[in-house]
Chain A
Amino acid sequence: MTTLNENMNLNDLHIAATEETPEVLLSAQTGKSYLKGRSLPENAFEFYRPIISWAKLYVEQRGVALDITLCFDYLNSSSSRFLFEMLHALDQSPESASYIVRWQTDPDDELMIEKGEELQRLLKMKVEII
């Protein structure tokens, strides 16, 4: 018997940037994905919910993580929390330690560097701060 998730066809997820949410591309075809821009919605759950679901389904169907680039001007606490939930879902794939999260940040932005370092401590995936 197949589960509902196995029957679902996983398409690329593309969300255009707004003033308070980043551009998102999660590629089911290539696995090369990114979130880019500012992420500061007051309750980020609504925004990140489909992204988290997509990541969980991707890992479930493909059994691998993504090559993902994250580049934020601003990332508020609510976004940090749900972004982590998405990354944590990818981190559950068996070979996650061989995948790289590229954390692109301005070298002057101490807070964003700290957030990247925090992810290094929390994830099995390799977080590269660039």
Chain B
Amino acid sequence: MNRVNPEILKHYFDNVAKADANFSYRGPFLEQFTEVILEVASSAGTAADIERSIQRKMSFILVESFQNILKHASLEEAENRVDNGVFSFRLMSRNFIINTINFISKEDSEHLRRMIDEVNDHNRNQTLKAFYMEHLQQNELSIKGGAGLGLIELARKSGSIILYDMEEFDGHVVFHQQITMRNDEGDDVGNYIASHKSRYEQLKRDRVFLSYSGEVSQKNLLPLLSLVENNAMAGQHNKSKARKAGHALIEVMQNISRYSKSSATGRPVVGYLNVGLDEEKIFIIAGNTIDKQEKNALNEKLDQLTQLSEQALSELHQQIMMRSIHDDEKQRSGLGLIEVLRSSSRKVDYGFYPTPTEDELFSMLITV
């Protein structure tokens, strides 16, 4: 079995079954991604019917947390570190949780620990605002040269204690952080630091740099496309490969959305997406849950299409194009699936896996 295979999606499906949206990104961390990640979160927030005022707070803590990683990413780059850490968020029962892992120096870690402990004490004692004002006046510099107000603001805006952990590794400190914004019911959200660490290890093992599960819509396709394209460009890949990955992503996501049972019922379409790098190849593993009837139809179609040569696929594509001129059905033509197959440089691999319900998880691997 190839080490990258469609079954990988199952790990992420199992882990996120209860989440409304779950997103993880492992570097490279670039300033331009702030806006893009914000768009993914905003789209998830809208899909979950979260009020605008809450979404604004979500955006604030997301940007603040991501930029915190950006500050440290530059340090890692200077030290030629391969691993950048990870930035994740999940939206679950209208609770918004951001988990991050990044590397910091030992000297910085002590300062950071004191700072967070102090912020958390003030938060518990409800003296955070006074502490904020005090800091604002002093304008005390933080470890990376910015005002240390960021942490206070994160605590104030999220309304929660900042959870963290630090562990020494390879002469550095691995810093784990969780920022939690609880829903109106004030659910006890819990500490995800350990499970997020496992997820990070899983992402590294699977060579996945972007993992997303949640609503698949045109609104979040665009930021995901931008992340994949820019990530590929930031690496050693040529423009052609980045563009090819973009083409494949568009088709595969739109196929999920178009053919999902939910799209017919008007419910949000939930999809699962992992994008990674393996031996200089970009791979996309994407899928969704489908029922038995859909499974049989899709399986049969894919079995037929994947047997076709490149030439035969191209001819089939042309035939459908010609036929579609006189076709009144404007939604489905079958071209999308063919384009997914054509965008893959290796034979597309796919599978169907059991889920806790009667539906099965469909997963498809495209290699660019």
| Closest partner residue, chain B, to A83 (CB atom) | B321
Interface hits, B236-257 → A, CB 8 Å? 238-240, 243-244, 246-247, 250-251, 254, 257
Interface hits, A15-44 → B, CB 8 Å? 19-20, 40-43
**CB-defined contacts of A40 to chain B, threshold 8 Å:** 221, 250, 254
Check B342 against A114 for contact (C-beta < 8 Å). yes
**A84 interfacial by beta-carbon distance below 8 Å:** yes
A103 to chain B, nearest CB (A): 15
How many interface residues does chain B have, given as a range? 20 to 34
Check A41 against B314 for contact (C-beta < 8 Å). no
A57-75: CB near B (< 8 Å → 1, else 0) gives: 0000000000000000110
Check A111 against B239 for contact (C-beta < 8 Å). no
Given the known A-B contacts A78-B336, A85-B324, are A111 and B250 also in contact in the complex, defined by CB atoms under 8 Å? no
**CB-defined contacts of A109 to chain B, threshold 8 Å:** 239-240, 243-244
**B143 interfacial by beta-carbon distance below 8 Å:** no
**B318 interfacial by beta-carbon distance below 8 Å:** yes
A90 to chain B, nearest CB (A): 13
Query: What secondary structure prevails in chain B residues at the interface with A?
Result: helix
Given the known A-B contacts A42-B258, A43-B331, are A76 and B251 also in contact in the complex, defined by CB atoms under 8 Å? yes
Interface hits, A104-130 → B, CB 8 Å? 106, 108-112, 114, 118, 121-122
Q: What's the count of A-B pairs with C-beta under 8 Å?
A: 78
**A80 interfacial by beta-carbon distance below 8 Å:** yes
**A14 interfacial by beta-carbon distance below 8 Å:** no
| Closest partner residue, chain B, to A76 (CB atom) | B250
**B339 interfacial by beta-carbon distance below 8 Å:** yes
**B317 interfacial by beta-carbon distance below 8 Å:** yes
Query: What secondary structure prevails in chain A residues at the interface with B?
Result: helix
Check B243 against A121 for contact (C-beta < 8 Å). no
**B82 interfacial by beta-carbon distance below 8 Å:** no
**CB-defined contacts of B338 to chain A, threshold 8 Å:** 77
Check A122 against B325 for contact (C-beta < 8 Å). no
| Closest partner residue, chain A, to B327 (CB atom) | A81
B297-329: CB near A (< 8 Å → 1, else 0) gives: 000000000000000001001100110110000
Check A111 against B318 for contact (C-beta < 8 Å). no
**CB-defined contacts of A122 to chain B, threshold 8 Å:** 318, 321-322
A48 to chain B, nearest CB (A): 10
Check B243 against A108 for contact (C-beta < 8 Å). yes
Q: Which of A73, A76, A84, A122 has the most CB of B within 10 A?
A: A76
Q: Which of B238, B239, B244, B247 has the most CB of A within 10 A?
A: B247
Check B343 against A111 for contact (C-beta < 8 Å). yes
**A45 interfacial by beta-carbon distance below 8 Å:** yes
**CB-defined contacts of B321 to chain A, threshold 8 Å:** 80-81, 84, 118, 122
**CB-defined contacts of A110 to chain B, threshold 8 Å:** 240, 244
Given the known A-B contacts A108-B238, A114-B342, A121-B318, are A77 and B335 also in contact in the complex, defined by CB atoms under 8 Å? yes
Partner of A81, one of B243, B251, B335: B335
**CB-defined contacts of A20 to chain B, threshold 8 Å:** 218, 222
**A102 interfacial by beta-carbon distance below 8 Å:** no
CB-defined A-B contacts under 8 Å, sample of 9: A40-B221, A74-B246, A77-B336, A80-B335, A85-B324, A108-B240, A111-B243, A114-B342, A122-B322
